Chains A and B, each alone.
Chain A
Amino acid sequence: EAEVAQSPRYKITEKSQAVAFWCDPISGHATLYWYRQILGQGPELLVQFQDESVVDDSQLPKDRFSAERLKGVDSTLKIQPAELGDSAMYLCASSGTGGYSEAFFGQGTRLTVV
């Protein structure tokens, strides 16, 4: 069964360090989302890609966060420098195109900033 792959599953980093997360969407899915989920809260969108283009990054803190999807397939989300408040689960999701297409989520990367 096709799944959205994310790595690493867990990451502990010191504040002011750089950290990166990777996502491989389901094959053929043109739309890719990065969400941030603070413990006990619902996910909030950070950035949405359509193929290699950014569709929505209005909630992405661009002074420290960056995201890319260079070939329109896998994607990397980077934080530099990490802050204590960045501790959260980072979820990647993907969906197809053409009418309604369900979004499938990966297992996420749990980031702890110390």
Chain B
Amino acid sequence: AQTVTQSQPEMSVQEAETVTLSCTYDTSESDYYLFWYKQPPSRQMILVIRQEAYKQQNATENRFSVNFQKAAKSFSLKISDSQLGDAAMYFCAYSYQAGTALIFGKGTTLSVSS
């Protein structure tokens, strides 16, 4: 069975600094999708970034980038130039094909201080 593990329950960063959130996963599939979702307090979960396993190039979205290490089954999220609005719970998620349900990790709560 596929699993997703986030080993950092809480992280903190100062404004304008960079922070990296860790995620590891387990699967026997060769093609799959990996995601980072952001869940602000009392607001809906939104997609931050997506990575297709067949792509060697790491995905980037503005200040957000990932370090995808397929052999190590590692998928970390780097947030550069952190902003107060980045404070939220971040979930790493896996899906083995388009249209299948997401499998989530337990999440990392990120706090940002000024």
Contacts and interface: CB of A to CB of B under 8 A. Distances in A.
B72 interface: no
Q: How big is chain B's contact interface, by range?
A: 20 to 34
A2 to B, nearest CB: 13
Interface of A: 3-4, 31, 33, 40-45, 48, 50, 56, 91, 93, 95, 97, 99-103, 105-108
Nearest to A43: B104
Contact of B101 (A48, A97, A102): A48
Interface in B79-114: 91, 93, 98-107
Contacts, number: 51
A19 to B, nearest CB: 20
B45 A45 contact: no
A56 B43 CA distance: 26
Interface string B29-46: 000010000000011111
Nearest to B93: A42
B11 interface: no
